[in-house]
Structure 1
Amino acid sequence: MAGSPTPKLNANFPSLDAFQHLGPFAVALSGGADSTAMLIACATHWPGRVHAVHVHHGLQAAADGFVQHCEALCQRFDVPLVVQRVNAAHAVGESPENAARQARYTAFANALQQNWGGHIKDMVLAQHADDQVETLLLALSRGAGLPGLASMPALADRGGVTYHRPWLDVPGQALRDALQAAGEVWVDDPTNTDTRFTRNRIRIDVLPVLARAFPAFRQTFARSARHAAQAQTLLTELAEEDLQTVGQPPAIRALQLLSEARQSNVLRHWLTLEGTQASAAQMQALLRQVKACTTRGHQIDIKVGHGFVRRDGAVLRCYNL
């Protein structure tokens, strides 16, 4: 039975050939349809090269059932599995989704560092075209800039791990259809139908309407996300050049010689390097203060993210809390 899904899954997802150059790698295995399809496709395509990491969030009673599914699946396909247990409870003012996401990435990095001799640096994520559309719509709903509109990259480095998303152009239904055709099962997360979460409302209420109005929306939205990512790459390159000019920490007089758009761009880049971010309102307040800073006694003290930007003589400094 383990061999039956091989031709169907691999035929449906030729994009996995991009992994040909990888050495041993890990699959993020939640137990849902998407990651189950990814684990089977990878394990049948590259037997002996694939490992798996399952994150047990400890947030619901069904979580133990997810572990059992992942253990049985990995045993069938002879894939080493690590189960990482985390505390994904969110802090006051933090969204549950963001807390769980941050906990997952920390767990992934820890799993790769602590297991398999620390030689695995690549992890495959099964996020697909519907996930990408949801991410883009979430960014639009929040008034995000280019980094948010770029949505999820197909390739990204984070915490010493390279994350691969080969199925961002594959509809989620195609993965479920492939699994059903192969006679495979998966587990459904009960929280996926809870419309208190914005992403679930988009999936349940918005995507079906988009499909009726714009049948090719997955492809066109993904193209817009790629355009945003390309534009953000150019802005980052410009910010790096401007940062060399204004200095690090940035000199106020040098900043004032730039246009407001370039000031905002380089300051956002600098703050990212300092480990924080500014909201649109905070950045506007900072730009106003930079423009008004024409006397020696003018003070700048602006809240940004988890810290402050303050004037220190001729330069700006970031102080994180």
Structure 2
Amino acid sequence: MTQSLDAAVRAFQPALPLGVAFSGGADSTALLIACAERWPGQVVALHVNHGLQAAAADFEAHCVALCGQLNVPLRVLKVDAGHTPGQSPEDAARIARYKALSALALTEYAQAAIKSIALAQHADDQVETLLLALSRGAGLRGLSAMPAQWQRDGLAFYRPLLQVSAADIRAWLVARGVGFVEDPTNTDQRFTRNRIRAQLLPALEAVFPQFRDTLARSAVHAAQAQGLLNEIATADLSAVCRADDGLPAVKALQALSAARQANALRHWLASAYGVIPSAAQLAELQQQIAACTTRGHHIHIKVADGFVERKGPVLAWYRPA
């Protein structure tokens, strides 16, 4: 069930001190204020300046001013969020943002080592993420949408507002008379997510008023099923991978059913290298594994920004220099 913002923050139990990712927008502003009120003196605002638009300096200035009013420490890091060939601008910005948040949390100038970081994605963001995954034909990993908690770089990351609607967050700010910045890219309907927000969510609201709750439950079911697949993949990889280097043996992979082989390969690439193969890339890889019956059979298949190659009896992935 969706919650009020106050109830969501009351239920939030992070290890302190807490860093709050603070862009200056409505969602992160509400989260920062609510957390600062609940844990006075234990909250640090973390602002990442991507420098991707002319208003970036104004956003940073707004964050400085508001944190001064709240008496909340603010840490700022400017990053280069430019994307590489074949990489989407959104992915590049997301990767740069998480690296910057970790760097800000772990810097020596913080009065105490930050143990947790809170992000302000909410129930509408979760629905948009699920609908995007459906539009791309995603599997269970994509349909799991955004996790409420995970570990990265020795820090605990949280999304405490995933059960709070965007409308409720803005109403909470209006009731308090608190201002925030509006990112102009959020209304640019050249981006699929923005079209979903502007066109699909109002239609869903009209036909299925409880869509945030029901789609969130579907994402939870998908995440549970993905967790089970991960357990199976871990067991299969322990059987097919060499103990010395963790590389999967071709002959051992051939002994798995097609579904378990695909699951194991996906998990190996994601856990060992942080890459996810497309459906077409995975299908081609499995075809080559099935055809690999001679010592001289060559495998060289593009996966993400690298290649899977056969190296003797095993497979390996590498990224070109």
Q: Is TM (by shorter chain) over 0.5?
A: yes
1:191 & 1:300 partners in 2: Cα distance?
Answer: 43
Q: CA deviation at 1:138?
A: 1.1
Is the contact between residue 26 and residue 53 of structure 1 (CA under 8 Å) also seen in structure 2?
yes
Q: Paired residue for 1:37?
A: 30
Q: How does 1:39-58 map to 2 (within 5 A)?
A: 39-58=32-51
Is the contact between residue 112 and residue 118 of structure 1 (CA under 8 Å) also seen in structure 2?
no
The alignment status of 1:297 with 2:290, answered yes or no, reads no
Q: Paired residue for 1:238?
A: 232
Which residue of 194, 204, 214 maps to 1:200? Answer: 194
Q: Paired residue for 2:305?
A: 306
Q: Paired residue for 1:63?
A: 56
CA 77–11 in structure 1, closer or farther in 2 if over 3 Å, else same: farther
Helix, strand or coil at the partner of 1:119: coil
Q: CA deviation at 1:265?
A: 0.6
Following superposition, which runs of at least 4 residues in structure 1 exceed 6 angstroms of deviation? none
1:313 & 1:86 partners in 2: Cα distance?
Answer: 41
Q: CA deviation at 1:20?
A: 3.8
Q: Which amino acid aligns with 2:301?
A: I
Which residue of 185, 206, 213 maps to 2:207? Answer: 213
Is the contact between residue 17 and residue 112 of structure 2 (CA under 8 Å) also seen in structure 1?
no
1:230 & 1:129 partners in 2: Cα distance?
Answer: 19
1:22 & 1:298 partners in 2: Cα distance?
Answer: 53
Q: CA deviation at 1:12?
A: 4.1
Q: Structure 1: which 5+ residue stretches go unaligned? A: 1-9
CA 161–194 in structure 1, closer or farther in 2 if over 3 Å, else same: same
Q: CA deviation at 1:159?
A: 2.8
Q: Paired residue for 1:73?
A: 66
CA 153–11 in structure 1, closer or farther in 2 if over 3 Å, else same: closer
The alignment status of 1:282 with 2:276, answered yes or no, reads no
Q: CA deviation at 1:21?
A: 5.1
Q: CA deviation at 1:67?
A: 1.5
Q: Structure 2: which 5+ residue stretches go unaligned? A: none
Helix, strand or coil at the partner of 2:189: coil
Q: Paired residue for 1:4?
A: none
Q: Paired residue for 1:159?
A: 153
Is the contact between residue 21 and residue 120 of structure 2 (CA under 8 Å) also seen in structure 1?
yes
Identity over aligned pairs, percent: 57
Give TM-score scaled by structure 1 length.
Answer: 0.92
Is the contact between residue 5 and residue 161 of structure 2 (CA under 8 Å) also seen in structure 1?
no
Is the contact between residue 56 and residue 86 of structure 1 (CA under 8 Å) also seen in structure 2?
yes
Q: Which moved more, 1:68-77 or 1:161-170?
A: 68-77
Helix, strand or coil at the partner of 1:116: coil
Q: CA deviation at 1:284?
A: 0.4
Q: How does 1:152-191 map to 2 (within 5 A)?
A: 152-191=146-185
2:88 & 2:238 partners in 1: Cα distance?
Answer: 36
Q: How does 1:97-116 map to 2 (within 5 A)?
A: 97-114=90-107, 115-116=109-110
Is the contact between residue 236 and residue 264 of structure 2 (CA under 8 Å) also seen in structure 1?
yes
Helix, strand or coil at the partner of 1:308: strand
